[in-house]
Chains A and B, each alone.
Chain A
Amino acid sequence: MADTLLAVDGLTRVFDVSAPWLNRVLEGRPRQLLRAVDDVSFSITAGQTVSLVGESGCGKSTVARLVVGLHAPSAGEIRLIRPDLRLQMIFQDPYASLNPRWRVRSIVAEPIRTLGLRSDEAAIRARVDELLGIVGLGASDGDKYPHEFSGGQRQRISIARALASEPEFLVCDEPTSALDVSVQAQILNLMKKLQRELGLTYLFISHDLSVVRHVSDVVAVMYLGRIVEEAPVETLFRRPLHPYTRLLLDTIPDLEAPRRDRTPMGGEVPSPIDPPKGCTFHPRCPLASERCRHERPELAARADAGRVACHAVEEGRHK
């Protein structure tokens, strides 16, 4: 596809979580490897929002960090449409991601100076004022320090800083999970407005399905380092196929249908250090068969749109 901005192919990241060398030798403990991301492939079309959703430890944040280059992949590749494509990241915690000793103006101006996007001080100043205006802050806020702002306003500063480098692509790692819902609504509205006006492309990482439903064009559900299902947002929410997606959607509280008859998902996410054989979801899956315990399902095209990795779906046992 001509307008594929970013394509990820067979992306894998393994972390060494072994005990220190001396302990391993003295106590005879083996090396332990954690496959945080295991053979993940997806692509993002320009101007769209692709979301990765899943529970803690499913590897979604590691994918984000791999895409922006904060980790090196152990295997697989990440291809950008152009080598000079500008990408930026917005982090979850607006308290930890801003330097407390810098004024907001310097924080937002740093990418402009580093990349040499404006030549003189007056132009930098004008650009910072413009950016603060775009995210809904006043020019006078530039002279304050981060601690003078609330969580939502700090996230606005993070967005202004990310926009300062004039990126086409933003990787957003849980950008609203540290915020109250009314503030979350402000930030989500701002991000949508910026996407419309600046033609931005987002890779959005979240554990919150209602937020994902609101912002995404395409959603990929992750479980223990792998994508188990991927589909356009309406398809995924209306006709989820993978048993994990279905249980996830069935488990979360729905304010429009509270107290519906829910099947709470039994069990817990297994340790990614020693994942179950075959399909990693089989110990919690109501449809698990003998085949699921031995053979790992690969992502295959769904009949309508998207992809799903499930033997039961392939065999038509999911109905």
Chain B
Amino acid sequence: MTQPVLSVRDLRVEFPTRSGTLVAVDGVSLDIAPGEILGVVGESGAGKSMTGMAVLGLLEPPGRIAAGEVRLAGARIDNLDERGLERVRGREIGAIFQDPLTSLNPVLSIGDQLVETIRVHTRCDRRTAREQAVAALTAVGIPAPTTRIDHFPHQFSGGMRQRVVIALALCANPKLVIADEPTTALDVSIQAQITALLKRLCKEHGTAVMLITHDMGVIAETADRVAVMYAGRLAEVGPVLDVIREPRHPYTRGLMGSIPSLRSRVDELVQIDGSMPRLDRMPPGCAFHPRCPDAGPRCARERPDPHPVGTGAVACWLEQGGVNGG
């Protein structure tokens, strides 16, 4: 196998608080190959955004990486200082966030923002940078880019703004893009345009993508593989169609069943009773066991780690010798 662009090993993100240490990400390991789109899916508080922020080195203090490694094309980046991180962010890793209005500077024209970014990363003169900026806007499908380049963010619609953000994230030709809920603020018809664009550009450039979202539909359409997170841990990883058609972890099964179908109608949706545990009240053993229909005594005692099953990996005792033993 070729070397993965991103390799995360046993990542642990902690928030020390007065009442104790909260573990937001706990023992997460992921690989993303060149040109591959890895979807990271989970509900609010599952730790999916925190994982993305940890890779970007953007954790809000007092949050910190307490253990584990993050490697970009083989080189460790989790232990870099701020200057080192600045060299990596933007040039090697691009970022796309949910709200395109807050990720653009409202008082600079989008051309200025693109030119600045391109010049920081490629050290070319202003004119060449501007030509590249126009090319970048053309690539993301902004109509009349030579005029639009001098417009300000508020003059664009939400979908067009997100295209500008994608142009910014990709203009230095990064190896990896972290896209955190890139289409959540957009309407469905625009959502499809943006995911198709992201997918096409990343395939063309061989960019690896970590696509973080709560929306299984977006993952199904866009990602190659999917990682399902629950309570800061990985529940299941696998090729996206396999996980959707044949989810193995009881949480993934519940999650898939709770999504209403477009094809047929059931009287009652599958319901996972209760809610995700709070970080300060994490149950022992498997974090999902209090809500799990298949839980046995072992699940309350021992924590399962992701274990290869079929084409993917599942962190569940059901797939590793049963819920009663141990």
Contact = CB atoms under 8 A, between A and B. Distances in A.
A258 B240 contact: yes
A251 B192 contact: yes
Contacts of B220: 253-255, 258-259
Q: How large is the interface on A (under 10, 10 to 19, 20 to 34, 35 or more residues)?
A: 35 or more
A209 B244 CA distance: 19
A248 B188 CA distance: 8
Contacts of B159: 268
B269 A255 contact: no
A186 B187 contact: no
Interface stretch (B13-21, B170-178, B270-278, B295-303): B270-278
Contacts of A188: 260, 269
Given A182-B43, A255-B217, A213 B265 contact: yes
Interface stretch (B69-77, B98-106, B145-153, B250-258): B250-258
Interface string A173-204: 00000001111111011001000000000000
A251 B196 CA distance: 11
A56 interface: yes
A147 interface: no
B263 A254 contact: yes
Interface in B44-92: 44
Nearest to A260: B221
Nearest to B220: A258
Nearest to A258: B220
Interface string A27-70: 00000000000000000000000000001100000000000000
Tell me what chain A mostly uses at the interface: helix, strand, loop, or mixed: helix
A247 interface: yes
A189 B268 contact: yes
A264 B187 contact: no
B260 to A, nearest CB: 4
Contacts of A269: 187, 189
A252 B214 contact: no
Nearest to A176: B260
Contact of B271 (A56, A182, A214, A233): A182
A152 interface: yes
Contacts of A184: 258
Nearest to B256: A255
Contacts of B254: 182
B257 to A, nearest CB: 8
A95 interface: no
A237 interface: yes
A255 B240 CA distance: 11
A14 interface: no
B192 A210 contact: no
A264 B193 contact: yes
A125 interface: no
Interface in A226-259: 233, 237, 247-249, 251-256, 258-259
Contact of B259 (A210, A247, A264): A210
A182 B190 contact: no
Interface string B216-243: 1110110000000000000000001100
B265 A55 contact: no
A203 B263 CA distance: 22
Contacts of B217: 252-255
Given A182-B272, A185-B270, A248 B189 contact: yes
Interface string A205-234: 001011101100000000000000000010
B2 interface: no
A182 B187 contact: no
B262 A254 contact: yes
Given A258-B240, A264-B196, A265-B189, 5 more contacts: A214-B266, A248-B189, A251-B192, A258-B221, A259-B220
6 contacts: A150-B275, A182-B255, A192-B268, A210-B260, A252-B192, A264-B193
